[in-house]
Amino acid sequence: MDPTGILDLRKGILFYIIGPLLFFLSLLPLIGGRSLQEAYISLGLLTLFIIMIFLAIILSLLGLMYTWKGFSKIQDRFNKAIIGKIGTILVLFGGVGSILLGIAYFFLGKALNNNKVKLGGILFIFPIASVVGAILIFQGLTQVARQVRLIQ
């Protein structure tokens, strides 16, 4: 298994965490009950909102790119990587992609003998728990990267 593939998957899941988080942070002014446009215009932050949404989209796309790249690099030694690659494409079109990615991460955790990646893969399947799953996957991949001395 190409160890740099693990690093790419780690980067991909990190962008998966940061991108949506940035998007939800950009929606905070809606808590007051006003419309999005009114909230940002009254605060004079409409440009900031547009920049935050743009960055969230870019980070999410980078996450998908790194995830694809990571699964591609490990597919010679991990035959279930194809599930992750298909999931990476389908995540652009809805929930089926997240289910396939969760399954791929579960099997990756099994292959790497890492319970955090396995549990994260299971949680990744469920929309409400997917953020917790992504964090566990990131932690598990970090453990694996440290074990093979890819990071300190």
Q: Sign of dihedral through CA atoms 54, 138, 71, 117?
A: negative
| Phi (first) and psi of residue 126, to 5 degrees | -95, 125
Is residue 50 over pLDDT 70?
yes
pLDDT-derived band at 37, boundaries 50, 70, 90: low
| Phi (first) and psi of residue 27, to 5 degrees | -90, 0
Least confident residue range of 30-44, 56-70, 125-139 = 30-44
Q: What CA–CA distance (Å, rounded) separates 64 from 42?
A: 35
* Residue 15: exposure state from Cβ atoms within 10 A (0-12, 13-18, ≥19): buried
Is residue 141 over pLDDT 90?
yes
Is residue 34 over pLDDT 70?
no
**Residue 134 structure tokens:** 């992504």
CB 40 within 8 A of CB 46: yes
pLDDT, tens only, 70-125? 999 999 999 999 999 999 999 988 779 999 999 999 999 999 999 999 999 999 99
pLDDT at 30: 64
